[in-house]
């Protein structure tokens, strides 16, 4: 079944205009629950309550307000908010082209497929091919819902993708996150084990179809059980071993050693430990 376009527009840069259609690229499949009255099973309805007047307020008596200081609001009518919106337009204006390698995935929000509209096939294909060849992505501005949305356009499988991206002030700095300093040192054998573990789990490419939302599957299975009047049964989760020591965790992950014995200090000496680890690595490499 052919996809249905959710909108249309025009890619514009210089004197070039390419008519396009927008298609939804992703659709979250998360499970969600409704709130029910425990007594009768009826679905609950949300209401807005004003604690100042001690009454439930209908939507017709509500206005939007912005909290400019603590507990102080400025009110806006719908007409005032309409005046603040940008010019209504279906134009996607390309502002610049940048190396694809310079784009941090952290900034990407939502993704849409772009398809050519009537008369735009050749220009659409030419732009896609040119960006792929030059390894460039387009940075642009797309007006949506009265707001200028920052976007990226990139070549994808002979066509084009549209990414909504966050503005710089919408992305928190990683510098605010506490993390180890660059002065942390590791023994050569630890680095060797870590690299070996990565190699052991390495695959040629990312294949998302190999993975599934196991929580959603369990919930849907439980829904079927309950709907059929059966007693809910869920298999217990397998316990996860708690290994605090980094070196020991790496050894166990490779499946080449048992937990270290705290009572045998000699066996835990750096020289013997390194020799044992190298032996494990050599066996793994030989397929033993």
Is CATH 2.40.290.10 correct for 7-26+85-170? yes
Place of tokens 């990139």: 154
* H helix or E strand, kind and range, residue 55: strand 55-57
In this prediction, residue 234 carries a pLDDT of 76
CA pair distance 125, 133, nearest whole angstrom = 12
CA pair distance 124, 117, nearest whole angstrom = 9
Mean per-residue pLDDT for 208-226? 85
- Give the start-to-end residue ranges of the domains of the chain: 7-26+85-170, 188-285
Rounded percentage of the chain residues whose pLDDT exceeds 90: 45
In this prediction, residue 279 carries a pLDDT of 53
More confident residue, 152 or 1: 152
Mean per-residue pLDDT for 253-260? 54
Residue 163: closest CA among 10, 13, 25: 25
Q: What DSSP assignment string belongs to 215-275?
A: HHHHHHHHHHHHHTTPPP--PPPPPPP----HHHHHHHHHT--PPPPTT-TTTTSHHHHHH
Instruction: State the pLDDT confidence band at 35, using cuts at 50, 70 and 90.
Output: very high
What pTM did the predictor assign? 0.71
When mean pLDDT is compared over 8-17, 57-66, 86-95, 228-237, the highest value belongs to 57-66
More confident residue, 267 or 43: 43
In this prediction, residue 221 carries a pLDDT of 85
Q: Are 110 and 22 in contact (CB under 8 A)?
A: no
In this prediction, residue 259 carries a pLDDT of 41
In this prediction, residue 261 carries a pLDDT of 41
Instruction: State the pLDDT confidence band at 134, using cuts at 50, 70 and 90.
Output: very high
In this prediction, residue 82 carries a pLDDT of 86
């Amino acid at each position: 079944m052919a996809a249905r376009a959710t909108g249309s527009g025009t890619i514009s840069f210089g004197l070039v205009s390419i008519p396009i259609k927008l298609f939804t690229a992703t659709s979250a499949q998360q499970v969600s629950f409704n709130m029910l009255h425990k007594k009768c099973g009826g679905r609950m309805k949300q209401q807005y309550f004003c604690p100042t007047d001690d009454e439930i307020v209908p939507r017709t008596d509500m206005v939007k307000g912005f909290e400019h200081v603590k507990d102080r609001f400025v009110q806006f009518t719908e007409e005032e908010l309409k005046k603040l919106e940008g010019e209504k337009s279906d134009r996607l204006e390309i502002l610049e082209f940048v190396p694809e390698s310079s784009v941090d995935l952290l900034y990407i929000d939502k993704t849409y497929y772009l398809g050519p509209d009537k008369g735009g096939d050749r220009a659409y294909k030419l732009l896609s091919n040119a960006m792929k060849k030059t390894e460039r992505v387009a940075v642009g501005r797309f007006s949506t819902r009265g707001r200028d949305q920052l976007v990226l356009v990139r070549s994808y499988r002979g066509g084009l993708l549209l990414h909504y991206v966050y503005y710089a002030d919408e992305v928190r700095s990683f510098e605010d996150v506490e993390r180890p300093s660059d002065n942390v040192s590791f023994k050569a054998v630890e680095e060797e084990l870590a690299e070996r573990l990565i190699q052991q789990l390495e695959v040629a490419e990312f294949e998302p179809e190999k993975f599934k939302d196991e929580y959603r599957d369990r919930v849907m299975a439980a829904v079927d059980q309950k709907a059929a009047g059966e007693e809910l049964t869920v298999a217990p989760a397998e316990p996860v071993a708690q290994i605090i020591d980094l070196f020991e965790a790496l050894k166990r992950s490779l499946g080449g050693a048992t937990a270290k014995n705290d009572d045998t200090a000699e066996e835990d000496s750096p020289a013997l430990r390194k020799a044992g680890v190298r032996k494990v690595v050599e066996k793994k490499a030989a397929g033993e």
